[in-house]
């Protein structure tokens, strides 16, 4: 358990640090998809700044220790008022690391062509000591 965590008492005592970290990682990805999908994008610079904003937004919430966001989106070259892109989950590749107590989780959101789905999944999970010992 994380000593400094004033909210720990609200959680079931059966929740392990790894389970808590997995929960927090899920929140981060649910937030990122549903907060940012729908943004109109016509400028490359906009996409680059938005990557940083999403990273900061993830890191603003509890126990997120690392975030990396890449946006891949086609931006029309020719100007037409009605031709621009709209950010969707399939345009986002998000990696987030949560650390809670002794545990860490590395989670990912990316479009998986085989599933035709933007899949949120856990790439790695374990104890921090173990990871730092690598």
CB 125 within 8 A of CB 105: yes
Token look-up 């100007």 returns 79
Q: Is 130 in the site for a second copy (CB under 8 A)?
A: no
Q: Is 30 in the site for a second copy (CB under 8 A)?
A: yes
What pairs with residue 90 in β-bridges?
Answer: none
- Coil vs helix vs strand at 2: coil
Where does 1-79 show beta strands of DSSP type E?
40-41, 64-71
Token couple for 100: 């809670």
Smallest separation, CB 72 to a second copy (Å): 17
> Which of 39/97 has CB closer to a second copy?
39
Applying CB under 8 A, among 1, 57, 73, 128 the residue interacting with a second copy is 57
CB 94 within 8 A of CB 108: yes
Q: Is 26 in the site for a second copy (CB under 8 A)?
A: yes
Q: Is 1 in the site for a second copy (CB under 8 A)?
A: no
CA dihedral 46, 47, 53, 56 (to 10 degrees): -150
Applying CB under 8 A, among 1, 66, 95, 122 the residue interacting with a second copy is 122
Binding site as annotated, residues for substrate: 24
- Which residues contribute to the site for a second copy (CB under 8 A)? 4-7, 10-12, 14-16, 18-20, 22-35, 37-43, 45-46, 49-50, 52-53, 56-57, 59-63, 80-84, 86, 89, 105, 107, 112, 115, 117, 119-126
């Amino acid at each position: 358990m994380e000593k400094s965590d004033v909210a720990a008492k609200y959680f079931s005592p059966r929740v392990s640090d790894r389970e808590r970290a997995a929960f927090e990682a899920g929140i981060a990805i649910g937030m990122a998809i549903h907060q940012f999908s729908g943004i109109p994008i016509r400028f490359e610079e906009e996409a680059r700044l938005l990557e940083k904003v999403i990273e900061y937004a993830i890191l603003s919430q509890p126990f997120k220790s690392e975030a990396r966001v890449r946006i891949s989106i086609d931006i029309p070259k020719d100007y037409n008022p009605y031709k621009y892109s709209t950010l969707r989950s399939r345009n986002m590749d998000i990696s987030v690391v949560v650390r809670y107590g002794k545990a860490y989780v590395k989670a990912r959101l990316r479009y998986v062509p085989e599933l035709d789905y933007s899949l949120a999944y856990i790439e790695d999970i374990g104890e921090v000591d173990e990871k730092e010992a690598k």
